[in-house]
Amino acid sequence: MAKGHFVDRHQIELIKRVSNINPILDHLKDKEVLTQEQYDQARAIPTTQDKMRFLFRGPLKAGEPSKDELLSALEKEEKYLIKDLRGKK
């Protein structure tokens, strides 16, 4: 099995392909991965791709639990994308 967290291994594809970002941001704020300030900053970013880059550059550097919460949100909001990525080796 490939090393590293799923969201790290698929970072480029996630940045390119995630489309339903606002519920993901809501989930991350609810689970305290994002502070209110970070949430507001992310919501103000105009493109989904740049919102995902913001997450990878900052809040997700906190470690595995924050990445687990992102994956949990992705499994709910982007289930077909996650299924597709899991099918790729």
- For residue 35, the model assigns a pLDDT of 95
Q: Is the pLDDT of residue 2 over 90?
A: no
pLDDT interval class at 3 (50, 70, 90): confident
Residue 58 has pLDDT above 80, yes or no: yes
Q: What is the pLDDT of residue 19?
A: 95
The mean pLDDT value of the chain amounts to: 93
pLDDT for res 1: 45
Tokens representing residue 65 in the block = 């639990």
pTM of the predicted protein model: 0.91
